Structure 1
Amino acid sequence: MIELQKQFQPKARNICSACGKDVGVSKLVVVGNVNICFECADLSKQLADKERNEVAEKEIQQMANDLSTGDAGLIDMGMGTARAHAERLYKAGYRKVE
């Protein structure tokens, strides 16, 4: 009886640590004691990309505000032009260090 139970239990190395599905060794990313299936890895990347995009949008908007016209603006330009410059600066790798 015990031998029969062992035969039908999934192997621990085939189980995704996130969703608990038995996906097989070929569809797992193994890091230390953690197994992540490709579906969970893709979902994790989508969530991280969404968060990064939200952070980028806030930083670009703040840079555009700093560049735009007005008493507090650094350069005399409209918001549309300031936003275009801010996007270029952000994509070039500029990040404000606090």
Structure 2
Amino acid sequence: MWTGSINGVKLQVWATWLFYAVLVDLGDAVADELSLPFDRISLEMIYRGLYHFNVAYDKGNAEDPIKYFAAPENQDLGVVKYLRKPVSKLDLSPFPAPS
């Protein structure tokens, strides 16, 4: 929706912040359900997974989005971020020590 009035812009900003707050709250609830820290949960994949939850809800296969995202059969949605390898420190000394 495009608008040039200040009230329209304020409404769009308010709606965006409200949706983000709901998304963060949902991500936090999923993290609690999985007993993981919040930063391991991908909010983007929660947002994308809402479509899949809606389809499952319409078919009668899901009732609660938190349990849906935490279910083992739905881990292919990518809600939980993969653990990355730690970044190795680059040794820039002229004669690096063998590792």
Pairwise TM-score range, normalised by the shorter structure: 0.3 to 0.5
Higher relative contact order (CA 8 A, sep 6+): 2
Structure label with greater radius of gyration: 1
What is the TM-score with the length of structure 2 in the denominator? 0.38
Would you tell me which structure has more helix in proportion to its own residues? Answer: 2
Would you tell me which structure has more strand in proportion to its own residues? Answer: 1
